[in-house]
Structure 1
């Protein structure tokens, strides 16, 4: 009788182990499918990712965790192995990231453009200017205030290049380096009656809040392309490269590109697909 009880207990333990094994595996597989994406504030603030990612998640079962920062920080997170894939907009920084071996499989995704936004009163008289460098010179000469991202984002890198080309910059307190995201900078520009460089998508998302106007647009130097890059799994253990490849494949596919083109808050297309 005692031997029979021991046998029953042993069989019960084996059965419990057998039944729990698939559950444990499923939990591990679910954890392994989490994908960490670093990206710019423009893709987050505009609402684009909230619109795109549910379709990808439903199709693949991969949950995406978004970390929204400036491009420089987004790439640093990739270098540190803190994310699996990055979606950014600063081609020189992207190429350097890949050339140094931190990223692989870079693909073009989409583009939009930069604009100069500012108060409707336009104290520097730049409204309608199509030469961004000439507009920057007018802002500097007009004793007007300018708010810079100051965060090594793609927008910040582009803005610094414009000032360098202009050969001047607003003096003293007229130039504010905020160290903040695009949405926060637009709010600051509104409060201070200042100009700023912004991507069109984030401007559109904050237009009603800030009351700022687009004053300078249309210069080909204000073209703003976005690329997606997988973090090199050879650099860090635990990188979800398979998940990164699936996101890259989906966002550059016909389906993903069509979703980007269809994103039109208030009827205005903010991003244009560019995957080849």
Structure 2
């Protein structure tokens, strides 16, 4: 009996050691990213190519940009791939990130019912939002402190709508990701601001269509940041830097440019600009 117990103990210790060794040897990073990079389908193309080139796997946590930045501030991520430039620059200035590098861009679009009851259709987002407010049309906001939510609030401000003084009559916040916000808009025939990539990959469109696009105010820039190991010593700086360097390299930029849905390119690399 004693021999059996000793053998069992040795087996458990050996298994624990081998598991720990395997985990220590596994090369991976945690990437906190905006939901649009995942829900658009981009990461399904991009990350396998990076992993094949580097041997480093990427574990994505797709949340709103605000939540992603908060994760990184706590040391719960090794790198960021997000789209709220003012917030990203603040993150770096506070010492939480090593450097912010431009990666790619696309644009935001205003989605609404095909009948366009608020009369928003065109290429002027400020005028469109004023009409949404004046008509009391239903509008779904992500309300989640994401990059898209921050962009939406900037557009309301540029349209002369003071959200602090009172939100428009039809304005509803869901506190949710882009896909969920689009689903709510589809089921309620509401307007919603979306990044183009997620919209193109969205299937449950119902009666929705793009009603406003092409306004230069709707430009949507994405950046990559390596979390500063001086703030959190456990951050995998070297692996994260390898990822950041790859996405701005010709190989990474080509992988981004080649991602299309229905022949339409979703993201446009601009790391060299």
Query: What is the TM-score normalised by the length of structure 2?
Result: 0.89
Aligned to 1:202: 198
Deviation per residue, 1:64-96 (Å, 9 max, x gap): 100000000011111000000000000000000
2:124 to 115, 127, 131: 131
Provide closer, same or farther for how the CA distance between residues 222 and 198 of structure 1 changes in structure 2, counting only shifts above 3 A.
same
CA distance in 2, matches of 1:30, 1:171: 52
Instruction: Please give the root-mean-square deviation of Cα atoms over the aligned residues, in Å.
Output: 2.0
Provide closer, same or farther for how the CA distance between residues 236 and 145 of structure 1 changes in structure 2, counting only shifts above 3 A.
same
Aligned to 1:68: 62
CA distance in 2, matches of 1:191, 1:264: 27
Offset of residue 162 of structure 1: 1.3
Secondary structure at 1:228's aligned position in 2?
Answer: strand
CA distance in 1, matches of 2:167, 2:23: 56
Alignment gaps of 5+ in structure 1: 1-19
Residue 25 of structure 2 is aligned to residue 30 of structure 1: yes
CA distance in 1, matches of 2:226, 2:216: 29
Residue 36 of structure 2 is aligned to residue 42 of structure 1: yes
2:230 to 228, 231, 234: 234
CA distance in 2, matches of 1:151, 1:203: 18
Residue 216 of structure 2 is aligned to residue 220 of structure 1: yes
Secondary structure at 2:201's aligned position in 1?
Answer: helix
Number of residue pairs matched by the alignment:
255
Residue 154 of structure 2 is aligned to residue 158 of structure 1: no
Provide closer, same or farther for how the CA distance between residues 191 and 173 of structure 1 changes in structure 2, counting only shifts above 3 A.
farther
Secondary structure at 1:206's aligned position in 2?
Answer: coil
Map 1:6-17 → 2, pairs under 5 A: none
CA distance in 2, matches of 1:248, 1:274: 14
CA distance in 1, matches of 2:220, 2:168: 29
Say whether the 8 Å CA contact 1:108–1:228 is kept in structure 2.
yes
Alignment gaps of 5+ in structure 2: 1-14
Offset of residue 173 of structure 1: 5.2
CA distance in 2, matches of 1:60, 1:210: 41
Deviation per residue, 1:237-256 (Å, 9 max, x gap): 21000111100111110011
Aligned to 1:271: 267
Say whether the 8 Å CA contact 1:37–1:86 is kept in structure 2.
yes
- Pick the structure with more helix per residue: 1
Offset of residue 23 of structure 1: 6.6
Residue 149 of structure 2 is aligned to residue 149 of structure 1: no
1:119 to 88, 110, 113: 113
Say whether the 8 Å CA contact 1:186–1:210 is kept in structure 2.
no
CA distance in 2, matches of 1:207, 1:27: 40
Provide closer, same or farther for how the CA distance between residues 68 and 253 of structure 1 changes in structure 2, counting only shifts above 3 A.
same
